Chain A
Amino acid sequence: MLPLDIAFWVMAAVGVATALAVVMEKDIFRAALFLVVSFLVVAGIFVLLNAEFLAMVQVLVYVGAISILIIFAIMLTRNAHEGNPFNSFQLPALVLSTMMLAAIAFVAVNTEWHDWDQLGLQVLPGDSGEVFSATEQGIKNVFGNTTQVIARLLMRDFVLPMEAASVVLLAAVIGALALVRENEGEA
């Protein structure tokens, strides 16, 4: 077994275990802390996939910002000590998620995945190296410098959804402000 394999399996196991803990843990504060670990492990898996930039963003945004926000929200909630409410849907939820897992596993194993050259992206110039198969070369080109490729995709190929996302954020901020307005005794 390669060290990378060992690293993957350890992280996969920790990732699944912490994700389960987030759902099952009764203390909502501890659930949030497990969520932090789960986010970190996902960042680790991104590193294994050669997506270092994505891993960094994952740590900055999810581990750094979102987790802190969730923990703040919990600390500011009055009834936080009551914890995760247990309800009668636990068994159906378990059955449903097991079925979902089975379906996805079945699909992942049984599909004839195609090796689309270059993952649908153009090869960047100036990145020479050993000659692999076309697909491997494409992956190498793409992941040789993920930051550059992501920048290109975000600011060029997918600039429309990126800019549209900023309008989404604007609408979300305006909507949130309108909803937290002071009550002024409306009719």
Chain B
Amino acid sequence: MTLHDLYLLSPELSLASLGMVVIILDMVLRRKGVLAAVSVVGLLAPLAFSISLWGDLSGEPDGQMVGIFNTLVVDKFSLFFKFLVMGIVALVVMSSVEYVSRLRQFQGEYYGLMLFSASGMMLLAATTDLISTYVALELTTLPLVALAAFLRDSRSTEAGIKFLLLSAMSSAVLLYGMTLTYGFTGTTQLVEIFERLGASLDATVPFGSHALFLGVIMIVAGFGFKIAAVPFQMWVPDVYEGAPTPITAYLSVASKAAGFAIILRVFYIGFGEISLDWAALFAVLSAVSMTVGNLVAIAQKNIKRMLAYSTIAHAGFLMVGVASIAARVPVGETTLGPSGVLFYLVAYAVTNLAAFFAIIAISNRTGSDMISSFAGMGRRAPFLAIILAFAIVSLLGIPPTAGFMGKLYMFSAAMKSDLAWLVVVGVVNSAISAYYYLKVIRVMYMVDPEGEEKIHVAYAPQAALYITALGILALGIFPGPLMTVAEKAVAVLFR
């Protein structure tokens, strides 16, 4: 370890330290409102380090800096996800202020665990070695398990226990897959795995070898759990319903982003030689996730459960981009699949956060998560209702929103990769999703309210709502700049 290694790791280090600072401040300070402010302002440290690292990259010939015995890499891909995770954390902390003030104790732990989890996500996007990947994954998940059970009522405890057991199970499956890969290649380094696979594959067997066949399927299952893809989605509805709503929002966007970061890195770099095989696997999972998520969402009466199934469907849309691999693309446009995934992740993050923030603000007052309790919100809370409606329009994928541009990039990547059938499945699913998404808008505007009391929102959550709503609109009208950055970020996957 040299000083330079520490510099490469500085965003993660400063973020984890920030978590500890917040927890210690909680013990010292009497006014707990400061904690949220410290968490948001403190993010400037990892942000500054990340910007500085991004600047340093321009001096590197191959666009990356490798450190700590080849277990950590700083490139535009990992920095892209660092910025995304920091943005999500800042917004979720801002929206939590009112929610958390109900807890008399352990507010510092609430923010601290969120920051620990975020440092795990940042590390996850920057690992180039399977062992580090696994530890980063646990660092991402374990704090979230504690946060899911944070309310300690029966729903929340059930969410925590289910999340803990199923994530332990998925970790076991993932580790089994990794050991099979290690057994076959003799290394845990993604770049070396790629090199050794090139020399040792048997073209007559799917995935080039029986061990890899089973290993890759198990790795997909392990990561599939994190991104909530069918058939590894059993935990999603219960955890989303039981967890504190800001944590549900965080879980739905941040852990999905981190999951896709590591999927793209492991499969595009480590298993690049057998991309045709795993791309077919992802295409099938994508179609199944979209269909199951959307069909089950129709029957939901609780808005958090409905969004849980919608999350599963969106994991399906995102996997369209993973399946649109370079090997299937004739010429040019090779980066459209993965860069589309990056764009979609940002678009989905602002959209889903806007929806959840509006729901948090409304159900803080009504005390209910049922869709029927949103009746008449168009009159009781016009500002919240319009943002929620706008977020839903974006989830549905209607212009001029971020969600529309995301789906557009995703489907055009699939068309260029000769996956027309997947595009058809996606479009049909978008139509199905209109049914349950628009139901919420109808309840808000066409049904008479239960009470007349207006709903007011504190400043911090209001600011978070404005930022996300602006994000939806900006990405819907000017997608170009973000797409350019996304294309630069995925360049490291194609070498």
Contacts and interface: CB of A to CB of B under 8 A. Distances in A.
A187 interface: yes
B474 interface: no
Given A107-B214, A174-B23, A112 B142 contact: no
A93 to B, nearest CB: 13
A82 to B, nearest CB: 18
Interface stretch (A5-13, A16-24, A34-42, A178-186): A178-186
A157 interface: yes
Nearest to B123: A164
Contacts of A183: 152
Interface residues of B, number: 57
Name which of A113, A167, A174 has the most chain B CB atoms within 10 A of its CB: A167
A53 to B, nearest CB: 18
Interface string B23-66: 10000000000000000000000000000000000000000000
A114 B186 contact: yes
Contacts of B132: 158, 160-161, 164
A157 B68 CA distance: 7
Interface string A110-140: 1111101001100000000000000000000
What secondary structure prevails in chain A residues at the interface with B? helix
B197 to A, nearest CB: 10
A111 B211 contact: yes
A167 B20 CA distance: 10
Contact of B146 (A175, A184, A187): A175
Contacts of B185: 114, 116
Contacts of B105: 181, 184
Contacts of A120: 186-188, 192
Interface in A77-114: 103-104, 106-108, 110-114
B1 interface: yes
Interface in A148-169: 156-161, 164-165, 167-168
B306 to A, nearest CB: 27
Interface string B145-178: 1110110100000001000000000000000000
Given A157-B69, A161-B132, A178-B150, A107 B186 contact: no
A176 interface: yes
Interface string B212-253: 011000000000000000000000000000000000000000
Contacts of A119: 186
Name which of B150, B183, B196 has the most chain A CB atoms within 10 A of its CB: B183
B42 to A, nearest CB: 17
Nearest to B209: A111
B209 A178 contact: no
A57 interface: no
A143 to B, nearest CB: 15
A8 B283 CA distance: 44
B7 interface: no
A170 B186 CA distance: 32
24 contacts: A114-B184, A114-B186, A114-B200, A116-B186, A157-B69, A157-B71, A158-B132, A160-B72, A160-B127, A164-B120, A170-B20, A171-B113, A171-B117, A171-B143, A174-B116, A175-B113, A175-B147, A176-B146, A178-B109, A178-B113, A179-B146, A186-B103, A186-B104, A187-B102
Given A114-B185, A161-B134, A175-B143, 5 more contacts: A107-B211, A120-B187, A120-B192, A174-B23, A181-B106
